[in-house]
Each structure stands twice: as structure tokens, then as C-alpha cells.
Amino acid sequence: MKRTHLIGGLCVIAVSAFGLSTLTVQDRSTEGVAATRVEEPREPVADQRGSFAPEELVAAPGVSQGTREEVPSLPAVPVTTEDPCASVVADLDAAIVVNNAHEKTIAQLNEKLAEVMRERDRFMYGEDTPYGAFLSSYEADEINDPNALVRIEDWLQKFPVFLGVGEATWIAERTGAKDWKLYGRTSELALIRFLGPDRLVAELPPARSAELIAYYADEPVFNQ
């Protein structure tokens, strides 16, 4: 009797255990499908060009498939990684480097030329002449623009007066900047104003003074 009860009890336990295990497996498979659908969103399908089909991008509820097919497809945009201006920019950079080097060379040559001109002119002009006196000043050594030296020489031949401190530098600066108009109607008038009309009349040779006064008789330059 005890053996019969024991076998019957074991059968009940076995049957119930099988049923439980079956139910558990079914629940787990159901949970796994649900999780998969939630965790993996649908991705649009890419075509061979790497772009997305319009219907994948504009899929909206309530819009029929026919309406979506009428939207014209966008033209293909070529994707390039090279900058078309890169070669031009590189050429320009190279030209700037070369230009800077040339400018430096020109500046050095001008400095040398100015030095040679000063030495030459010191032999040509005595210190008793306006330009010779200028060349003996420290200002002359600081003006390294040959054009400015030529201009000062030219002015002092037309207006033979002895320059004061800083006056030659002012002429050299105006020559380089070409901003005479800031100081007079012409470069000559600017210089006359800078040096002083009364001073010029007093120091210039009488014939030259008379010439200047006659030339500017119709302008308020010389108060004669």
C-alpha cells in the first residue's frame, strides 16, 4: 500500500513539473519576441546610391502609396572630398612667398643703391650747397629710398634753401606716401607751404623769388 502511494505521488509530481516547465518556455519565447520588436526600430532601406528612397523618409499614416510615388526623385548629388580651390590656393600661397622674397631683395638693393648715391653725391656737392649740407646730416643716412633722395635733390635745385632738422625726412615721407594733396593743391605748393613762403622769398635768389611770385600771382601764396 505504501509503495502504491509513493509511485502515485511521484507521478503527480512529475506531471505537474512537466506542465510548469512547458508553460515557462512558452512565456519566455513570448517575452523575447516582444523585446526584440521594441529594442530594434525599423531602419529605412538604403538603395545602391547610398541615398534613401523617398517613401522610406516620408512614410506617414494616412498617406496612400500612389501619392508618394508622384514625388519626383531628387537629383543625385556627387559627393567629393577634394576642394576644387585647393590647387589655386596653393599656387597663390607659393606666389606670395616668392613675392615677399622679392620685396625683401628689392628693399636690400634699394638700401645699397641709396648708400652708393649718397657717397657719389657727397663728392659732387660741397657742404656749402643745400643738398651737400643735407648729405652731411644724420638724416641723409636714414633715408634709404633712392627716389626720395632724387626728389630732395630735385627740390633743392629748384628751391635752394638750407633744410632744417626733420625737413628732409618730411619730404621723403611725402614722396613715398604720395599724399601731397593733404598739404596743398600741388606738391610744389605743399612744399612752399611747408618751407614757408616768407622764408623762401628771403633765402632764394631774387630771380627765383620773382619767378615764383609771378607764377602764383593769382593764388594767395606769397603775400606781396
- Which stretches of the chain bind other proteins, using CB under 8 A? 147, 150-151, 154-155, 175, 178, 180-181, 185-188, 215, 218
d(CA 158, CA 151): 11
Least distance between other proteins and beta carbon 143 (Å): 15
**Cell numbers that stand for 184 in this block:** 596743398
Least distance between other proteins and beta carbon 221 (Å): 12
Q: In this complex, which beta carbon is closest to other proteins, that of residue 56 or of residue 121?
A: 121
**CB within 8 A of 57, min separation 6: which ones?**
44
CB atoms within 10 A of CB 83: 9
d(CA 6, CA 157): 143
- Asked if residue 153 lies in contact with residue 130, where contact means CB atoms within 8 angstroms, the answer is no
d(CA 17, CA 224): 135
**Cell numbers that stand for 178 in this block:** 604720395
**Cell numbers that stand for 185 in this block:** 593743391
- Asked if residue 163 lies in contact with residue 156, where contact means CB atoms within 8 angstroms, the answer is yes
Q: In this complex, which beta carbon is closest to other proteins, that of residue 39 or of residue 218?
A: 218
Q: In this complex, which beta carbon is closest to other proteins, that of residue 154 or of residue 173?
A: 154
Q: In this complex, which beta carbon is closest to other proteins, that of residue 180 or of residue 222?
A: 180
Least distance between other proteins and beta carbon 74 (Å): 55
Q: In this complex, which beta carbon is closest to other proteins, that of residue 55 or of residue 153?
A: 153
d(CA 66, CA 55): 10
Least distance between other proteins and beta carbon 154 (Å): 4
**Cell numbers that stand for 127 in this block:** 657742404
Least distance between other proteins and beta carbon 160 (Å): 15
Q: In this complex, which beta carbon is closest to other proteins, that of residue 30 or of residue 186?
A: 186
Least distance between other proteins and beta carbon 92 (Å): 29
